[in-house]
Chains A and B, each alone.
Chain A
């Protein structure tokens, strides 16, 4: 069983975030980490391998130099090797371009299963996995809250608002997993040391045969026109309970059309 896990290096959500003059997220000057939502993908891939009793995991990321930290973190949790697509021309690449680059990487790798997180914690679009599956002609089962792999098939449960669906895809396939799949493990002390010795291959766009104008801000099909800081939160409405707290709460909710 060969698994590729897509991971992303994102700005630390607890630290200050910034945007560049071109409205792209500042990724270089900030503290970053492996996107928490991707930790679930790593965990699921490790569990699939553990259940199968054999196999290997390759992590793939596209991002600036410091994105290597996300690969090291994933490798310290387990797995075998990693690929880092690193090229200055990638700055400002949108989801479509990202899926193109990742597809080119995957064409170089052998895999039975591609696992991704449900969204990145910075962009939050959730579209890269399906775009990638489309480019590779893979069946995609997304937003999995459980994942199991057996007999050449991956089976997921997708919990929607109205129903839970069980979806089965034939391998090779792509699966994206949610934070419901189960807590990700901590790396072990030995895992951290072992990760330093695991191979990380760096590819440039030229290595992948992608022209610079297919990616970056110039190649993007979408454009961020404006970035507005969210207004600071206003003080809420305070309800003093003088025996009629319940009624007042209900009135407030009704006035906001919540009930």
Chain B
């Protein structure tokens, strides 16, 4: 099913961009999603096509090959990609997140050297913050980076890394001194350094096409010139990246939820019970109405946060609200979509049980929804 969301877009350029996105999503992504998710195949080729079409670097500076798009537009592209295939939306969002530290905190010299390659469309990035022992309490990370001459020698294990083993570059959040958030630094490591290895891909309940694996660092020498920002600035870089990343996850959630809603609504007009379409029963209509309202509200919330970001206003709390609301909405909407299909919703012949499994991960990544509530709550209470 092709997305039919009517969008208010700020420019002719944005309309063309959304048109191109839908064309590729309809022809390349949606038809391939179910089989690849069933088999757990990472869609590297599809991502390469998106890269060549210029869709992997949308929110970045055109001077370095980026698409120069505001978040308001980039996120709607992400929503359309996720509508067709969530795994692709996650990949694009994580790749954008992985370009953020260099684009925002790199020196001019560092950007000149590496940014065009990161944004060129052929490479994929990873963002390595979580560790087996430190998830929500990310500042408790233990991976050590010890300065030795011109290099940092890095040892530790990064967990749950999206694109682990398939990425071309890795942002490593590492401990360069002491304890707590002020001892953390950010290194931009190329893939395939000596001493770097990867765990078996995690066997997940959903988004199985998305690659998630540990990144194991055993005395990996990363040149010190690849440190982004100052020593000790890593944690604030990580948090700033996550603020933007959370908007990405919110947009992914809205795309997924819209997909579930559209499928359920169309099914309800076709399935007959008691001699009429189930969509004619108020019980089903009210379910669909609540789903549709949740999707619209979630979209409005992420767009509001995006517009604040584009306008240069603080948006971190709004991003947390959008991520919280959109991913909770996606969970509820996909669960209700299964309900609308009844038994047919519970089997792989229809996509909605997959949507339900996929929605769950969005409540966990880039800060669990408890952590989002913490961010919002702290802002309210100081």
Task: Give residues in A with beta carbon < 8 Å to B.
Answer: 185-193
**B32 located at the interface, meaning its Cβ lies under 8 Å from any Cβ of chain A in the complex:** no
Give Cα distance in the complex from A187 to B19, angstroms.
11
- Residues on B with C-beta less than 8 A from A187 are 20, 53
- Residues on B with C-beta less than 8 A from A190 are 54, 67
Q: Which residues of B49-106 have CB atoms within 8 Å of chain A's CB atoms?
A: 49, 52-55, 58, 67
Give Cα distance in the complex from A188 to B66, angstroms.
12
**B23 located at the interface, meaning its Cβ lies under 8 Å from any Cβ of chain A in the complex:** yes
- Residues on A with C-beta less than 8 A from B20 are 186-187, 189, 192
**B225 located at the interface, meaning its Cβ lies under 8 Å from any Cβ of chain A in the complex:** no
- Kindly provide the distance from the CB of B372 to the nearest chain A CB, expressed in whole angstroms: 31
Query: Is the pair B67, A186 in contact by a Cβ cutoff of 8 Å?
Result: no
Select which of B13, B23, B49, B58 is within 8 A of A193 by beta carbon: B13
- Residues on B with C-beta less than 8 A from A189 are 16-17, 20, 53-55, 58, 67
Give Cα distance in the complex from A200 to B33, angstroms.
39
Query: Is the pair B49, A186 in contact by a Cβ cutoff of 8 Å?
Result: yes
Query: Is the pair A185, B52 in contact by a Cβ cutoff of 8 Å?
Result: yes
- Residues on A with C-beta less than 8 A from B53 are 186-189
If over half of B's interface residues share one DSSP class (helix, strand or loop), that class is named, otherwise mixed; here it is helix
- Residues on B with C-beta less than 8 A from A192 are 16-17, 20
Q: Closest 4 A-B residue pairs measured CB to CB?
A: A189-B54, A188-B54, A186-B53, A192-B16
- Residues on A with C-beta less than 8 A from B52 are 185-186, 188
- Residues on A with C-beta less than 8 A from B13 are 193
Task: Give residues in B with beta carbon < 8 Å to A.
Answer: 13, 16-17, 20, 23-24, 49, 52-55, 58, 67
Give Cα distance in the complex from A186 to B52, angstroms.
8
Q: Which has the most chain A C-beta neighbours within 10 Å: B20, B23, B58?
A: B20
Query: Is the pair B16, A193 in contact by a Cβ cutoff of 8 Å?
Result: yes
Q: Which has the most chain B C-beta neighbours within 10 Å: A186, A189, A192?
A: A189
- Residues on B with C-beta less than 8 A from A191 are 54
Give Cα distance in the complex from A1 to B58, angstroms.
33
- Kindly provide the distance from the CB of B356 to the nearest chain A CB, expressed in whole angstroms: 31
- Kindly provide the distance from the CB of B12 to the nearest chain A CB, expressed in whole angstroms: 9
Q: Other than the known A186-B49, A188-B53, A193-B13, what 6 A-B pairs have Cβ atoms closer than 8 Å?
A: A186-B20, A186-B24, A186-B52, A189-B17, A189-B58, A192-B16
Q: List 28 A-B contacts (CB under 8 A).
A: A185-B52, A186-B20, A186-B23, A186-B24, A186-B49, A186-B52, A186-B53, A187-B20, A187-B53, A188-B52, A188-B53, A188-B54, A189-B16, A189-B17, A189-B20, A189-B53, A189-B54, A189-B55, A189-B58, A189-B67, A190-B54, A190-B67, A191-B54, A192-B16, A192-B17, A192-B20, A193-B13, A193-B16
- Kindly provide the distance from the CB of A161 to the nearest chain B CB, expressed in whole angstroms: 30
- Residues on A with C-beta less than 8 A from B24 are 186
Give Cα distance in the complex from A189 to B23, angstroms.
12
- Residues on A with C-beta less than 8 A from B23 are 186
- Residues on B with C-beta less than 8 A from A185 are 52
- Kindly provide the distance from the CB of A189 to the nearest chain B CB, expressed in whole angstroms: 4
- Kindly provide the distance from the CB of A46 to the nearest chain B CB, expressed in whole angstroms: 12
Chain B residue at smallest Cβ distance from A189: B54
- Residues on B with C-beta less than 8 A from A188 are 52-54
- Kindly provide the distance from the CB of B170 to the nearest chain A CB, expressed in whole angstroms: 26
- Kindly provide the distance from the CB of B319 to the nearest chain A CB, expressed in whole angstroms: 25
- Residues on B with C-beta less than 8 A from A186 are 20, 23-24, 49, 52-53
- Kindly provide the distance from the CB of B119 to the nearest chain A CB, expressed in whole angstroms: 12
- Kindly provide the distance from the CB of A183 to the nearest chain B CB, expressed in whole angstroms: 10
- Residues on A with C-beta less than 8 A from B17 are 189, 192
Give Cα distance in the complex from A224 to B221, angstroms.
75
- Kindly provide the distance from the CB of A185 to the nearest chain B CB, expressed in whole angstroms: 7
Give Cα distance in the complex from A192 to B24, angstroms.
14
- Residues on A with C-beta less than 8 A from B55 are 189
Give Cα distance in the complex from A190 to B20, angstroms.
11
- Kindly provide the distance from the CB of B122 to the nearest chain A CB, expressed in whole angstroms: 13
- Residues on B with C-beta less than 8 A from A193 are 13, 16
Give Cα distance in the complex from A93 to B52, angstroms.
39
Give Cα distance in the complex from A185 to B17, angstroms.
16
Give Cα distance in the complex from A96 to B113, angstroms.
57
Chain B residue at smallest Cβ distance from A187: B20
- Residues on A with C-beta less than 8 A from B67 are 189-190
- Residues on A with C-beta less than 8 A from B49 are 186
Give Cα distance in the complex from A185 to B49, angstroms.
8
